[in-house]
Structure 1
Amino acid sequence: MKRQLTELTGWLKAEGQNMEGAIVTGASIDTRTLEKGDLFIPFRGELVNGHQYVRQAFEKGAAASLWLKDEPGAPTDLPLIFVDDSEIALQQLARAYRNELTCKFIGVTGSNGKTSTKDLITSVLTPYFKVKKTEGNFNNQLGLPLTILSLEEDTDIAVLEMGMSGFGEISFLSELAKPHYAVISNIGEAHMQDLGSREGIAKAKFEIIDGLQEDGKLFFDGDEPLLQTLVKSHPSLQSVTFGYTRALDLSIIDMESGDEGSDFTVAGEVEGSFTIPVFGAHQVKNSLAAILIANELGLSQEQIRTSLQKASLTDMRMQPVISKCGALFINDAFNAAPTSMKAALAFLQETKLRPEKWAVLGDMLELGDNERTYHESIAHQLTKIPLKGILLFGPRMKWLYDELKKTGNESKIIWSEDNYDPLIQELVKSTDKDSIILLKGSRGMALEKIMNGVIDA
């Protein structure tokens, strides 16, 4: 973005001061990450008032700043735009800038896998287009506008992750971004406590079509009946299905794990064999959205195959890490819900990468009233896997620990409520080059600390 400050005041229908000659090239809400030329957007909260940092923002190179009309003490020597609400102003700026851009917008949501899907789409397209994706967790009502305002005007494709915790949030983000393509990776149980049921979660995710371009397409998990039902209720919607069911528009017909990732074969709109440098059947399914969109944008099968094989995913998504002793960690500790937990354990059951298998599992959060049942139900799947050890961390994992004790499971089972050390010590003592160790838990459990403790031991 490169806009005169006077143009931004026009977008906001606001008044400003000292605007002559000021050129804005981005936006920031944090002086720690602010870059030269940014418009600083201060927020006023209960604990911190961002107006206190306006001068610091200019010292770091800000071109201008917003200022709330009812905030006293506005400096008279700085270029400022006066607004009623910082958040609304940020969103207005993003909406106006988005309307001037000519690039293709891709919106991605899902209970699990949206970040990996975003990364896979970006990886496939980047060698052939100028692509910008959502960075980190900038997938909400503040992060998505900031991402849009960070787009260079010659960007070809913007891949925007859309997160939510309740109804209406995805709808708002979609209508702001106006995507040409929308992706729903899957429907799980995350945010069950806010949305009440999987049906509610599906409806909230399906809001991504609210801002979809008139000729846009929805790519979605065709193995999910809830999504199939919602799509059928919108007969004019252009949609493309992907998954493991053979009747879908793109289906996986064969898959196996190798030392460098997952090899799989697909049939349907695209046919052939591909490899991704990450493990898990759920990650293979996520890659189907990337294949379909790349095909839609005119890439050849060989181009897709080559770029997908070199895909770069955000850390802690079925990420392989080798410890000093040669043990293979599968770090899938970014987040967890019952659906993604089952998928990760299915990989552990099927893999032949190492003969001795360990599961290190942490609490699954935000599951609502049925959280005990969800944790206890994992026991059934664990009993089917020949595990050398099951290490459990967090207060909710006590339910699973007690359930496993009833089954007579012969694996070594250790539970720790809030101390990583017993689990680290067990892995240091008992694992070697023959071991594969799955880490899976919600973000709040920070299970990567266990892996780091083993590696540093």
Structure 2
Amino acid sequence: MKLSLHEVAKAVGAKNQISEFDDVPLSQIEFDSRKIQAGDLFLPLKGVRDGHDFITTAFENGAVATFSEKELAGVPYIWVDDSLKAFQDLAAYYIEKMRVDVVAVTGSNGKTTTKDMIAAILATTYKTYKTQGNYNNEIGLPYTVLHMPEDTEKIVLEMGQDHLGDIHLLSEIAKPHIAVVTLIGEAHLEFFGSREKIAQGKMQIVDGMDSDGILIVPGDSIVDPYLPENQMVIRFGDGQELMVTELEERKDSLTFRTNVIDRQLTLPVPGKYNATNAMVASYVGKLLAVSDDDIADALENIELTRNRTEWKKAANGADILSDVYNANPTAMKLILETFSAIPNNEGGKKIAVLADMKELGEASVNLHNQMIMSLRPDVIDTLICYGKDIQDLSQLASQMFPIGKVYFFKKNEEEDRFDDLLSQIREVLGEHDQILLKGSNSMNLSAIVDALVEN
């Protein structure tokens, strides 16, 4: 961080006389005492354990100061009422101090991929930093901001939400100049109650923007009630200002055109939804004066965050389409469409392994059942369902698929074992086959993928 102890204390309104401590430069800020190195500032947060219990450890590991919600003796500290609030205030101050351009990205699906694409495009022209992994909440976003390199010119921040108001807080911290909403789906429906409430929460991304900011949103009418009156709004999708055309979808790549730039674009990932993500990322690049050549090169060589849609090889030679980090009805529908559209390997068949989608609330079983509309027995040979709420879908599918082509396995909630499921997959998976695995992260399908790759 390009900050000193006294500057931080002033920025967060310290309650104590910080002048009694030396105004030392600070290297980084860390809330995990095990990560503290010489010159760092410690942030004690309250969670399962109270971070204040680890202040001594932090100083032993090299911390030069700490935040604290209580008075301390014998060590340099910044006394505040709420360490997390001080952390967030400091991040907002740091963004303003560094005069960095902020691009914010949220959405029920595609936000991480779109963030990666925007960052890759901007990195061709500017010193660019982005949210690492899934650090997209009230702790992760300020952590990202305060860890950006000193020479950062553009920062791409992912914003997630579990409850209404989460995006409002993050936008107020980040003050984005460009904001992107990728899609309004059903993620966290259990906490919001309706897609309309989800849309309301996502659209709070504009709350920290100034009047010359630019908002990029899908053409979905569900966002209309929440569009700002005095903001430039660009919409994407069929019949909108930004559109994908001439899409060609293959097993592990896409080619397409868009009215954003006058050339064909190539992506080394499947899924027509990724063409939309890339189009939006390209438009952000154009807004920030990135050349068409640099945009095309960045997309052609994009490396996405691990565990999003990716192809892997099973040990027996079968192709695995792994999409196991996250799941909601919109995302599952899209990946089933993509999987069904990809040509079969010669002599091979298609197998779909679908697991529970979490946090859908009372509508969960019904939303799982709606996936029947995206299952094609003429294309998918075998369906394997895993979980609890997906059981009814397996029964519906049994009426569509040939006898013996639909299987259901209940998740063992007491012990995270899936021996029977894995055994069944291995029994039906041939060396020329393609297999899709899709479910919420908590269903641990990533372990199934790893097992198939290893053996």
Moved more, 150-159 or 430-439: 430-439
**CA 237–386 in structure 1, closer or farther in 2 if over 3 Å, else same:** same
**CA 180–52 in structure 1, closer or farther in 2 if over 3 Å, else same:** same
Please state if 1:59 is matched with 2:60.
yes
Question: Counterparts of 1:429 and 1:408 in 2: how far apart (Å)?
Answer: 18
Q: Which residue of 2 aligns with 1:371?
A: 364
- TM-score scaled to structure 1, two decimals? 0.93
Question: Counterparts of 1:384 and 1:213 in 2: how far apart (Å)?
Answer: 51
Q: Which residue of 1 aligns with 2:414?
A: none
Q: Report the 3-state secondary structure (helix = DSSP H, G, I; strand = E; otherwise coil) of the residue aligned with 1:32.
A: helix
The Cα shift of 1:407 comes to 3.0
**CA 434–229 in structure 1, closer or farther in 2 if over 3 Å, else same:** farther
Q: Report the 3-state secondary structure (helix = DSSP H, G, I; strand = E; otherwise coil) of the residue aligned with 1:220.
A: strand
Aligned residues of 2:254 and 2:271 also touching (Cα < 8 A): yes
Give the letter aligned to residue 5 of structure 1: L
The Cα shift of 1:342 comes to 0.3
**CA 453–216 in structure 1, closer or farther in 2 if over 3 Å, else same:** same
Which sections of structure 1, spanning at least 5 residues, go unmatched? none
Q: Which residue of 2 aligns with 1:443?
A: 441
The Cα shift of 1:186 comes to 0.2
Q: Report the 3-state secondary structure (helix = DSSP H, G, I; strand = E; otherwise coil) of the residue aligned with 1:200.
A: helix
Give the letter aligned to residue 256 of structure 1: E
Q: Which residue of 1 aligns with 2:249?
A: 257
1:143-154 aligned at under 5 Å gives the runs 143-154=140-151
Please state if 1:226 is matched with 2:218.
no
1:30-109 aligned at under 5 Å gives the runs 30-45=32-47, 47-69=48-70, 74-76=72-74, 78-109=75-106
Alignment deviations for residues 333-375 of structure 1 (CA, whole Å, 9 cap, x no partner): 1110000000000001101153411111110111121111111
Give the letter aligned to residue 156 of structure 2: V
Alignment deviations for residues 251-309 of structure 1 (CA, whole Å, 9 cap, x no partner): 1112223354222121x232321111211111221112210011111122221111111
Q: Which residue of 1 aligns with 2:387?
A: 394
Q: Which residue of 1 aligns with 2:398?
A: 405
Please state if 1:320 is matched with 2:311.
yes
**CA 410–121 in structure 1, closer or farther in 2 if over 3 Å, else same:** farther
Question: Counterparts of 2:143 and 2:19 in 1: how far apart (Å)?
Answer: 23
The Cα shift of 1:87 comes to 1.0
The Cα shift of 1:101 comes to 1.6
Aligned residues of 1:388 and 1:411 also touching (Cα < 8 A): no
CA RMSD after TM alignment = 1.8
Question: Counterparts of 1:385 and 1:421 in 2: how far apart (Å)?
Answer: 29
Alignment deviations for residues 227-251 of structure 1 (CA, whole Å, 9 cap, x no partner): 24533xx3422011222x0x32221
Q: Report the 3-state secondary structure (helix = DSSP H, G, I; strand = E; otherwise coil) of the residue aligned with 2:207.
A: helix
Q: Which residue of 2 aligns with 1:241?
A: 235
Question: Counterparts of 2:283 and 2:378 in 1: how far apart (Å)?
Answer: 34
Question: Counterparts of 2:139 and 2:184 in 1: how far apart (Å)?
Answer: 24
Q: Report the 3-state secondary structure (helix = DSSP H, G, I; strand = E; otherwise coil) of the residue aligned with 2:306.
A: coil
2:199 is matched with which residue: 186, 198, 202? 202
Which sections of structure 2, spanning at least 5 residues, go unmatched? 412-416
Moved more, 33-42 or 393-402: 33-42
Alignment deviations for residues 412-452 of structure 1 (CA, whole Å, 9 cap, x no partner): 21211124222322332332342111111011111111111
Please state if 1:20 is matched with 2:12.
no
Aligned residues of 2:186 and 2:360 also touching (Cα < 8 A): yes
**CA 118–36 in structure 1, closer or farther in 2 if over 3 Å, else same:** farther
Give the letter aligned to residue 127 of structure 1: T
The Cα shift of 1:177 comes to 0.4
The Cα shift of 1:49 comes to 2.0
Question: Counterparts of 2:349 and 2:19 in 1: how far apart (Å)?
Answer: 68
Aligned residues of 1:17 and 1:79 also touching (Cα < 8 A): no
**CA 230–379 in structure 1, closer or farther in 2 if over 3 Å, else same:** same
**CA 133–414 in structure 1, closer or farther in 2 if over 3 Å, else same:** same
Alignment deviations for residues 138-194 of structure 1 (CA, whole Å, 9 cap, x no partner): 111111111111123320111001111121111111011000100000000112122
Q: Which residue of 1 aligns with 2:111?
A: 114
Please state if 1:214 is matched with 2:207.
no
Question: Counterparts of 1:125 and 1:2 in 2: how far apart (Å)?
Answer: 23
Question: Counterparts of 2:230 and 2:68 in 1: how far apart (Å)?
Answer: 44
Question: Counterparts of 1:362 and 1:17 in 2: how far apart (Å)?
Answer: 57
2:452 is matched with which residue: 447, 451, 454? 454
The Cα shift of 1:384 comes to 4.9
Give the letter aligned to residue 249 of structure 1: E
Aligned residues of 2:385 and 2:409 also touching (Cα < 8 A): yes
Q: Which residue of 1 aligns with 2:341?
A: 350
Q: Report the 3-state secondary structure (helix = DSSP H, G, I; strand = E; otherwise coil) of the residue aligned with 1:211.
A: coil
The Cα shift of 1:455 comes to 1.8
Question: Counterparts of 2:27 and 2:212 in 1: how far apart (Å)?
Answer: 31
Aligned residues of 2:94 and 2:146 also touching (Cα < 8 A): yes
Aligned residues of 1:258 and 1:353 also touching (Cα < 8 A): no
Q: Report the 3-state secondary structure (helix = DSSP H, G, I; strand = E; otherwise coil) of the residue aligned with 2:243.
A: strand
Give the letter aligned to residue 244 of structure 2: I
Question: Counterparts of 1:193 and 1:262 in 2: how far apart (Å)?
Answer: 34
**CA 427–214 in structure 1, closer or farther in 2 if over 3 Å, else same:** same
Query: Identity of counterpart residues, as a percentage?
Result: 33
Moved more, 109-118 or 397-406: 397-406
Give the letter aligned to residue 153 of structure 2: D
Q: Report the 3-state secondary structure (helix = DSSP H, G, I; strand = E; otherwise coil) of the residue aligned with 1:439.
A: strand
Moved more, 349-358 or 136-145: 349-358
**CA 277–410 in structure 1, closer or farther in 2 if over 3 Å, else same:** farther
Aligned residues of 2:34 and 2:61 also touching (Cα < 8 A): no
- TM-score scaled to structure 2, two decimals? 0.93
**CA 427–408 in structure 1, closer or farther in 2 if over 3 Å, else same:** closer
Question: Counterparts of 2:401 and 2:301 in 1: how far apart (Å)?
Answer: 43
Q: Report the 3-state secondary structure (helix = DSSP H, G, I; strand = E; otherwise coil) of the residue aligned with 2:399.
A: helix
